Structure 1
Amino acid sequence: MNIHDIPDEILGQIGKIHNINFPRQGHTSIVAILETTNGKFVIKKTENELYNEWLLEEYKALQYLSQTGLLVPKVYSFHIENKTRWLLMDHIEGISLRAFLSGTPNLKDKEKAITNFGLCLRSIHECPCPIEFIKDDKPWLDTMLSKAEYNLNHFEVDGTEELLSQLKEVRPKSMENTFIHGDFTIDNVLVNDCNIVGIIDWSGAAYGDPRYDIALAIRPKFNAFDHDRDRELFLNAYGKIRLTEEEYNYFEGGLYQFF
């Protein structure tokens, strides 16, 4: 992405661009931080059928969440241009929790950040679910398994047909739904001075199983959840439910492999 790629409609909203940089990001989109005469903005660009759909879902979710009090970026516009999609939103000053922990902070700061991560998830699960996310047609897990099958048949995913069959046959015991983020990883929470300042990437938001968020939150990464102490800090701060090993494997090692 460069300045000349950005649609005129977006350029008209943000003013003259003084600087553009590209933070570390996943493989689903191109992300740029723009410094302009009107402030700092984030632009996300996708060019793939699946990722285009996810970006649209993120745009909708951010609109629905704007009045909840959760630490979400303000969203401005969603633009369609041939097979490309663009999302414009506010920039939140901070770095991902993953980047923070990868920098090997001192133990006190690390534990404070992980504790705040657990408190952050608690605030999400205790947030009254916006009505737009509550669908009566079928249970959340059934919806996710249907999406997993579609993704397996149409896109490149890490999951396999054998794994999907296992997920359909042996399901975890049902649990009361809450509002969930749907991709609550250390990449999608922003921190500043150990405090959570932003929660991003909301395309998976739903009225669903809170264990899915917990499982993704505690996935081991470098200097993050690679020791039992990190899990205990997080779960004590979250303070609601704990996963069995079987539940963790079902959601993180199973269902997530199709998304």
Structure 2
Amino acid sequence: MKPPRPYARPLTPADLPEEVRALLDDIPLQEPPQQGRTSRVAFTRDARGDPVVLKRSVGPHLEVIRREHHALCTLYPLGVPVPEPLLFLERPTSFGREGWLVTRRLLGTTLETALRTELDHALRVSLLRDFGAALARLHRTLPPTDFGSFDWLENVLTITNSLNPTTDVVQQWRIRNEQPTPVATALIHGDLFLDNVMTADGRVTGLIDWAFADVGDPRYDVAVA
């Protein structure tokens, strides 16, 4: 009989490491309907009642949550609009090595949802302008000299292969050999789909899911968004 998959059922407080439970209030875990491909996500509150996010990654996806923790610890002190990291730990399990990340939760609505549901054209334009301004501030932020990959593009392709082993090799050849005119590198989010942009009261309040942050081509963020 095959062992159960690590994400085959909802998370419960009993699944949490002792160090994680010690941070939290005694309330149920709420899992959003849309889950990422590399982490299990749940919302809850800490012992003070403040909203927090739990992320759990297992086995081959552990490196993704490690990268996100490193990015948050590096960028939060710089004033980049990232969730505050609270705890990260790893432990062995029957499914492989497991990582847990706890951060503050950025409340509000994703930019994707806000643009889809907002009927006022002027407010939609205002949201997009605010997003553009937030992205420009990110790209102007100077990262520490030890942050980022030596070869950003090669790193992106390596990660893509690890997460999507069937990636088209012809497409990868074109990406490597038909690059646009180079521009100055900048601090980039690296996964800037609009559901990773949080909004509240008509303003962009922060960005989430920082596992692919790097120093690379800022046009990549614009293209993904």
Q: Is residue 173 of structure 2 the alignment partner of residue 165 of structure 1?
A: yes
d(CA) in 2 for partners of 1:121, 1:64:
18
Amino acid at match of 2:184: E
Deviation at 1:140, TM superposition (A): 2.0
Deviation at 1:94, TM superposition (A): 1.2
* 2:194 match: secondary structure: coil
Q: 1:178 to 1:155 in 2, by over 3 A?
A: closer
Amino acid at match of 1:180: I
Amino acid at match of 1:161: V
* 1:124 match: secondary structure: helix
Amino acid at match of 1:17: D
Q: Is residue 127 of structure 2 the alignment partner of residue 119 of structure 1?
A: no
Q: 1:105 to 1:47 in 2, by over 3 A?
A: farther
Aligned partner of 2:6 in structure 1 is none
| The one of 31, 39, 43 aligned to 1:22 | 31
TM-score relative to the length of structure 1: 0.74
Amino acid at match of 1:144: V
> In the alignment, is the contact (CA less than 8 A) between 1:17 and 1:34 conserved in 2?
no
TM-score relative to the length of structure 2: 0.85
d(CA) in 2 for partners of 1:107, 1:157:
41
> In the alignment, is the contact (CA less than 8 A) between 1:73 and 1:92 conserved in 2?
yes
Q: Deviations along 1:104-147, whole A, 9 cap, x unmatched?
A: 44222211111111111101001112223155xx43223334x1
d(CA) in 1 for partners of 2:163, 2:104:
31
Deviation at 1:19, TM superposition (A): 3.5
Q: Deviations along 1:165-187, whole A, 9 cap, x unmatched?
A: 22222222211111111111201
Q: Deviations along 1:223-254, whole A, 9 cap, x unmatched?
A: xxxxxxxxxxxxxxxxxxxxxxxxxxxxxxxx
d(CA) in 1 for partners of 2:166, 2:207:
25
> Alignment RMSD, CA only?
1.9
Q: Is residue 219 of structure 2 the alignment partner of residue 216 of structure 1?
A: no
Amino acid at match of 2:222: I
* Gap regions ≥5 residues in structure 1: 218-259
Q: 1:155 to 1:65 in 2, by over 3 A?
A: closer
> In the alignment, is the contact (CA less than 8 A) between 2:72 and 2:84 conserved in 1?
yes
d(CA) in 2 for partners of 1:134, 1:35:
32
> In the alignment, is the contact (CA less than 8 A) between 1:45 and 1:84 conserved in 2?
yes
Aligned partner of 1:110 in structure 2 is 124
> In the alignment, is the contact (CA less than 8 A) between 1:19 and 1:35 conserved in 2?
no
Aligned partner of 1:186 in structure 2 is 194
Q: Is residue 78 of structure 2 the alignment partner of residue 64 of structure 1?
A: no
d(CA) in 2 for partners of 1:69, 1:100:
24
Farther off after superposition, 16-25 or 81-90: 16-25
Q: 1:119 to 1:97 in 2, by over 3 A?
A: same
Deviation at 1:47, TM superposition (A): 2.0
Aligned partner of 2:8 in structure 1 is none
* Gap regions ≥5 residues in structure 2: 1-10
| The one of 62, 79, 95 aligned to 1:52 | 62
> In the alignment, is the contact (CA less than 8 A) between 1:181 and 1:202 conserved in 2?
yes
* 2:122 match: secondary structure: helix
